[in-house]
Amino acid sequence: MNGDPTLERITQGGGLALCAAGPWTARFAPVLERMVADAEKLRGTRPDIFIDVSQVSKLDTFGAWLIERLRRSLSHGGGEATIAGLSENYSSLVDEVRRVKETPEAETGPVSITAMLDQIGRVVVGIGGTIIGLIDMLGAVLVASGHVLIRPRSFRLTSTIHHLEQVCWRAVPIVVLITFLIGCIIAQQGIFHFRRFGADIFVVDMLGVLVLREIGVLLVAIMVAGRSGSAYTAELGSMKMREEIDALRTMGFDPIEVLVLPRMLALVLALPILAFLGAMAALYGGGLVAWLYGGVDPEAFLLRLRDAISINHFIVGMVKAPVMAAVIGIVACVEGLAVQGSAESLGQHTTSSVVKGIFFVIVMDGVFAIFFASIGM
Amino acid sequence: MLVQPISDAIIRVRDITVQFGRTRVLDGLDLDVKRGEILGFVGPSGAGKSVLTRTIIGLVPKVSGRIEVFGIDLDAASSSERRRVERRWGVLFQQGALFSSLTVRQNIQFPVREYLRVSQRLLDEIMVAKLVMVGLKPEVADRYPSELSGGMIKRVALARALALDPELVFLDEPTSGLDPIGAGEFDELVRTLQRTLGLTVFMVTHDLDSLYTACDRIAVLGNGKIIAAGSIADMQASQHPWLRQYFHGKRARAVIG
């Protein structure tokens, strides 16, 4: 008996029989569910209802459960429903689904004003937690550095060099390319607008100060946060997920010393180098545009540049770089070690590593601007 | 011929060759799995047991050979035919492979929700039925995989593999990492499910207990081929050196008692 499953109603004397036939399997579950819901309306109309399943050609968990659901629902209204004609093969399956007692509802959080306020409150409290977490990590890294200074043999040189290659050497092409293009754009915009006042040559002043003091290091720091901060978080996060960090700890190693310190050190060394290369590439790009688009020949450009900028501008830019690197590194490692067991959590923490990294880089830049202004650099 | 042609074979593997670079992992392998049986698949570590499983379910490309599942040649099948076949089998991966960002409830309901248009009520009821079948309490439904023990992960993964009531399940080392009592319960569970649901089970295992208590038939992989297939008694009678060591070693004697 193939084709579609059926559930027929047959009245015999005073009783009622529901005859199930055909394949009662997962494939037909939507149809079966509708038929069973229909039949459930018979509840309470008759004292005794037979559910005859002798014509069922195939039965699986879905079918067995729906028959069981029908039996329970019909038995509710004071009547008594019984399953008849169950073949030997399927009786154990029906016994199995009979063990299902109640079905717990999915937990859904309350949706209301209170829940929203609750959420906002948690986020605000979370900000405090974030800052404490960062300071905590800073302290842990300093303690680990202290250990390494006392016992220089425990310093992981190979690991540091490996990370230096990843975050510095391999980042050079993209950093140089992007800063070069930004230098070009700044020079072009400067020339375009300054030309109206006949002040073309001042584009060199703008380019020099902007690139060396601000744009060079800020842009590179943002790129590094996106490129290396995210990689650190993902690496540490997946190690956390697979209990590798716990394994390190039980072997008597400090994860901060083994994993975090080499990464931090590599980043602190890499960012000044990248910032310097970035600044040079931006100046080169700006000079090129000034020459080809603004008609400022290279000699005049260099002469003007020498007048416009002092060593202070360069120092201001370079001093910021390692501090920003430390901030990016600490944020990335804190986020990485905060990853929980799921893939989703890894994604969330990697995102928040980049977002927080960039945010703190810009905040630090502002703090530095105030500081340098007040000491007159 | 070690493998006789069997008319009622649910999986029919013929002359399969799988190669990774220069290493030939499977070399002209033939295997039949009969409808309704539990086939235990053993062999030394690294012999390619998981590779064969993954080749049959289509995760590893083969160099040559022919695989028929439910009488359908998987190479010749159109993508819709293939999907229909995939709906009829369930796979339990070695590490469970539960979706870590979904709860137990969502993990089990995922395949059902994708393939069948049924109400949330039925989804929940079926989910609980599956949990009860694999011996778990319905209370675990809203936990995440990271909050489960190793044994529970295997059970939930089995429940997910069984979600659509497949006719065939592949179990890759289902009892590895379980304590002996848990492993024994798992074997019992596979037996029960095979009886109640009429499942065919393809089980890769290292567990001698599983072979004795759960399997109807055993196939042994070595040198990229099936070196023996038959009942546990056939295996014990075999003169093959690896089989002798496997079934008459210290651990085996402990199991036989």
The reply to whether the predicted model has a pTM over 0.80 is no
- Give the pLDDT mean for A184-197: 92
Q: Which of A229, A224, A232 is nearest to A270 (CA)?
A: A224
Enumerate residues 22 to 51 of chain A having a beta carbon within 8 A of any beta carbon in chain B.
25-27, 29-30, 33
- Whether chain B has a CB inside 8 Å of the CB on A87: the answer is no
What local confidence, expressed as pLDDT, does residue B1 receive?
A: 38
Q: Which of A84, A13, A79 is nearest to A47 (CA)?
A: A79
B101 neighbourhood in chain A, CB within 8 Å: 342-345
**Helices marked H in B28-96 — which ranges?**
49-56, 79-87
Cβ B255 vs Cβ B211: under 8 Å = no
- Give the pLDDT mean for B1-27: 75
- Give the Cα separation of A135 and A281 in Å (integer): 35
Using CB atoms within 10 Å of the CB of residue B43, give its burial: 0 to 12 exposed, 13 to 18 middle, 19+ buried: buried
Q: How far does the CA of residue A82 sit from the closest CA of chain B (Å)?
A: 20
On the question of pLDDT at A150 being above 60, the answer is yes
Element at B89 (helix H, strand E)? strand B89-92
3-state secondary structure of B117: coil
Q: Which of A25, A107, A342 sits opposite B144 (nearest CB)?
A: A342
- Give the pLDDT mean for A30-53: 78
Q: Who contacts B54 (Cβ-Cβ below 8 Å, separation ≥6)?
A: B60
- Give the pLDDT mean for A114-138: 90
B147–A25: do the CB atoms touch at under 8 Å?
no
- Give the Cα separation of A367 and A358 in Å (integer): 14
Tokens for A91? Answer: 């009786």
- Whether chain B has a CB inside 8 Å of the CB on A246: the answer is no
Q: Which of A26, A69, A96 sits opposite B116 (nearest CB)?
A: A26
Q: Which residue of A has its CA nearest to B111?
A: A26
Pairing status of strand B23-34 against strand B9-20 = antiparallel
- Give the pLDDT mean for B40-51: 83
B88 neighbourhood in chain A, CB within 8 Å: none
What local confidence, expressed as pLDDT, does residue A356 receive?
A: 94
Q: Which of B117, B129, B144 sits opposite A30 (nearest CB)?
A: B117
B165–A89: do the CB atoms touch at under 8 Å?
no
- Give the Cα separation of A132 and A48 in Å (integer): 69
- In sequence order, what DSSP letters do the residues of B190-226 get, joined into one string? HHHHHHHH--EEEEE---HHHHHHT-SEEEEEETTEE
- In sequence order, what DSSP letters do the residues of A195-248 get, joined into one string? GGGT-TTHHHHHHHHIIIIIIHHHHHHHHHIIIIIHHHHHHHHHHHHTTHHHHH
- Give the Cα separation of A336 and A259 in Å (integer): 11
Chain A and chain B share a number of CB contacts under 8 A equal to 88
What local confidence, expressed as pLDDT, does residue B4 receive?
A: 44
Q: Which of A97, A104, A345 sits opposite B138 (nearest CB)?
A: A104
Q: Which of A29, A107, A341 sits opposite B118 (nearest CB)?
A: A29
A98/A191: higher pLDDT: A191
pLDDT tens digit string along B169-185? 898 888 877 778 878 88
- Give the pLDDT mean for A65-87: 78
Helices B150-161 and B180-197 meet at what angle, rounded to 10? Answer: 10
- Give the pLDDT mean for A92-107: 73
Q: Who contacts A20 (Cβ-Cβ below 8 Å, separation ≥6)?
A: A5, A6, A7, A51, A52, A53, A55, A56, A67
Q: Average model confidence (pLDDT) for chain A?
A: 87
- Whether chain B has a CB inside 8 Å of the CB on A66: the answer is yes
- The lowest-confidence range among A20-29, A35-44, A172-181, A317-326 is A35-44
What local confidence, expressed as pLDDT, does residue A165 receive?
A: 95
On the question of pLDDT at A271 being above 90, the answer is yes
Question: Confidence class of residue A229 from pLDDT cuts 50, 70 and 90?
Answer: very high
- The lowest-confidence range among A65-74, A287-296, A305-314 is A65-74
A170/B155: higher pLDDT: A170
Tokens for A82? Answer: 């019984």
Enumerate residues 61 to 100 of chain B having a beta carbon within 8 A of any beta carbon in chain A.
99-100
B112 neighbourhood in chain A, CB within 8 Å: 26
B125 neighbourhood in chain A, CB within 8 Å: 65, 69, 100, 103
A83/A207: higher pLDDT: A207
On the question of pLDDT at A303 being above 90, the answer is yes
pLDDT tens digit string along B95-137? 888 888 888 988 988 888 888 888 888 888 888 888 888 888 8
Measured CA to CA in angstroms, residue B74 lies from A285, B11, B153 at distances of 58, 11, 30
Q: Which residues pair with B89 in a beta bridge?
A: B168
Element at A19 (helix H, strand E)? strand A15-24
What local confidence, expressed as pLDDT, does residue B135 receive?
A: 81
Of chain B, the end-to-end C-alpha distance in Å amounts to 33
Helices B120-133 and B150-161 meet at what angle, rounded to 10? Answer: 130
- Give the pLDDT mean for B181-198: 81
pLDDT tens digit string along B229-255? 888 888 878 788 888 888 777 766 666
Enumerate residues 147 to 186 of chain B having a beta carbon within 8 A of any beta carbon in chain A.
147, 162, 164-165
Using CB atoms within 10 Å of the CB of residue B225, give its burial: 0 to 12 exposed, 13 to 18 middle, 19+ buried: middle
On the question of pLDDT at A189 being above 90, the answer is yes
Q: Which residue of B has its CA nearest to A339?
A: B146
On the question of pLDDT at B5 being above 70, the answer is no
- Give the pLDDT mean for A69-93: 76
What local confidence, expressed as pLDDT, does residue B6 receive?
A: 45
Q: Who contacts A312 (Cβ-Cβ below 8 Å, separation ≥6)?
A: A377
A345–B101: do the CB atoms touch at under 8 Å?
yes
Q: Which of B116, B126, B196 sits opposite A65 (nearest CB)?
A: B126
- Give the Cα separation of A257 and A156 in Å (integer): 8
A103–B125: do the CB atoms touch at under 8 Å?
yes
pLDDT tens digit string along A290-299? 999 988 899 9
Q: Who contacts A296 (Cβ-Cβ below 8 Å, separation ≥6)?
A: A200, A201, A203, A204, A290, A304
A97–B124: do the CB atoms touch at under 8 Å?
no
What local confidence, expressed as pLDDT, does residue A107 receive?
A: 62
- Give the Cα separation of A152 and A202 in Å (integer): 51
- Give the Cα separation of A24 and A51 in Å (integer): 14
